[in-house]
Amino acid sequence: KQEVTQIPAALSVPEGENLVLNCSFTDSAIYNLQWFRQDPGKGLTSLLLIQSSQREQTSGRLNASLDKSSGRSTLYIAASQPGDSATYLCAVKAGTALIFGKGTTLSVSS
């Protein structure tokens, strides 16, 4: 059974810091891995999608990597800003369902 774990559960950093969020999964047989952002009381906003054949994807200040063999993905956020404060969720696609981690709640102070 696929399980997704995100560490740390919460993270507080000052503005401007570069940071890494971690995601691990137990079964390497995945179609893709997707990172999302969720603001309080809101839906999920897709940040990056990495197909199983890819190693990384970049969008602006965000870079996500995927190592299927070790069951790990990282989301790198460069030069963090207060507007980056949110919960970040990773999810792996196995079959037709996404399996989500519990998320990392990020707080960036100005």
Partner 1 sequence: KAGVTQTPRYLIKTRGQQVTLSCSPISGHRSVSWYQQTPGQGLQFLFEYFSETQRNKGNFPGRFSGRQFSNSRSEMNVSTLELGDSALYLCASSLVSISGLNTGELFFGEGSRLTVL
Q: Which residues bind partner 1 (CB under 8 A)?
A: 31-32, 34, 36, 41-46, 49, 51, 89, 91, 93, 95-103
CB of 66 to partner 1, least distance (A): 14
Classify 101 as helix, strand or coil: coil
Question: Which of residues 57 and 80 has its CB atom nearest to partner 1 in the complex?
Answer: 57
Other C-beta atoms within 10 Å of 70: how many? 10
Question: Which of residues 34 and 80 has its CB atom nearest to partner 1 in the complex?
Answer: 34
Torsion of the alpha carbons at 17, 37, 109 and 63, rounded to the nearest 10:
10
Single out the residue of 85, 74, 66 nearest to residue 17, CA to CA.
85
CB of 57 to partner 1, least distance (A): 11
